């Protein structure tokens, strides 16, 4: 995605060296439509510079700091030397993430998505999240819940969530659900305890998965799963509820899985 506006003073931007002159370097801004900045020779590198070409090459990708923006003169002044290594790496990663998000938008809505629809969806996400990438990442972790305050229709939300869960890699995801366990038999308490132990996996949960079962309020129990990816987390959540339901059924009881909390108590 390229922004149609102007960068702000102090902002870090990613650019491509388009032209090198004795007095400085012209840089195409890769994040902005039809925007080009000038990095004066004094801002290319620290110290005295004899030849600009000793420090930058044509088509080189650079990270620069915006020193000044004059919209009336269509001029953007840049500094390459004012960007340290940490800032450069962080900005490049941020830019790469937005390129990924741009690709996910095409996956979610098709390569033929119009500029108008793209802008509408993107602006809605940016109104709630720091970046498109952040929006997709939150959708991958929290599903529709992450987008409930975003000005999108149900089909658009579904498309983003589905694409995010299939493409976004996150350090871990957390999902949760609830299971109602009831057993009218005389040994109902023991039956529920067995069902809860079954829900917790009896020590057979994969090492990369953290699964916890907590009491909410009779007959409701909360199952929370933390896993490296959404599919694994969802599979483990459903399997946990199924184990509990199967075990309680052996004692003549019932188990019912649901996603939303039903108890009145918090």
* Structure confidence by residue, pLDDT tens digits, 89-98: 999 999 999 9
- 173-258 CATH choice from 3.30.420.40, 3.30.70.1130, 3.40.50.1110, 3.40.50.720: 3.30.70.1130
Q: Where in the chain is the domain with CATH 1.10.150?
A: 86-167
Nearest to 176 by CA among 250, 237, 124, 263: 237
Q: Where in the chain is the domain with CATH 3.30.70.1130?
A: 173-258
CA–CA separation, 73 and 68 (whole Å): 11
CB 133 within 8 A of CB 97: yes
pLDDT tens-place string over residues 118-137:
999 999 999 999 999 999 99
Whether the predicted pLDDT of 217 surpasses 50: yes
Task: Give the model's pLDDT for residue 112.
Answer: 86
pLDDT tens-place string over residues 180-209:
999 988 888 899 999 999 999 877 788 778
Task: Give the model's pLDDT for residue 255.
Answer: 93
pLDDT band at 170 (very low <50, low <70, confident <90, very high): confident
CA–CA separation, 181 and 167 (whole Å): 36
pLDDT band at 77 (very low <50, low <70, confident <90, very high): very high
pLDDT more than 70, % of the chain: 98
What's the fold here for domain 86-167? Answer: DNA polymerase; domain 1 (1.10.150)
CA–CA separation, 118 and 33 (whole Å): 15
- 12-82 CATH choice from 2.40.50.140, 1.10.600.10, 3.30.300.30, 1.20.59.10: 2.40.50.140
pLDDT tens-place string over residues 25-68:
999 999 999 999 999 999 999 999 989 999 999 999 999 999 99
Distance of CA 156 to CAs 36, 92, 110, 162, 253, Å? 34, 29, 12, 10, 41
Whether the predicted pLDDT of 263 surpasses 60: no
């Amino acid at each position: 995605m390229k922004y149609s506006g102007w960068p702000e003073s102090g902002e870090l931007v990613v650019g491509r060296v388009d032209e090198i002159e004795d007095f400085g370097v012209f840089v195409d801004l890769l994040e902005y439509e039809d925007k080009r900045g000038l990095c004066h020779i004094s801002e290319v590198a620290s110290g005295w510079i004899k030849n600009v070409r000793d420090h930058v090459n044509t088509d080189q990708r650079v990270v620069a700091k915006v020193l000044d923006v004059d919209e009336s003169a269509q001029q953007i002044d840049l500094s390459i030397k004012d960007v340290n290594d940490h800032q450069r790496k962080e900005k490049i990663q941020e830019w790469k993430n937005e390129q990924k998000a741009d690709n996910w938008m095409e996956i979610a809505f098709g390569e033929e998505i119009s500029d108008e629809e793209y802008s509408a969806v993107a602006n809605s996400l940016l109104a709630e999240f720091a970046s498109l990438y952040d929006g997709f990442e939150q959708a991958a972790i929290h599903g529709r819940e992450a987008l409930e305050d975003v000005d999108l229709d149900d089909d658009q939300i579904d498309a983003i969530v589905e694409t995010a869960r299939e493409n976004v890699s996150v350090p871990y995801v957390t999902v949760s659900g609830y299971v109602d366990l009831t057993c009218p038999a005389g040994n109902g308490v023991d039956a529920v305890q067995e069902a809860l132990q079954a829900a917790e996996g009896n020590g057979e949960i994969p090492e990369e998965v953290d699964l916890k079962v907590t009491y909410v309020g009779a007959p409701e129990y909360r199952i929370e799963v933390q896993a490296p990816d959404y599919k694994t987390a969802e599979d483990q959540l459903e399997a946990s509820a199924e184990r509990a339901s199967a075990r309680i059924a052996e004692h003549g009881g019932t188990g019912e899985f649901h996603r939303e909390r039903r108890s009145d108590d918090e």
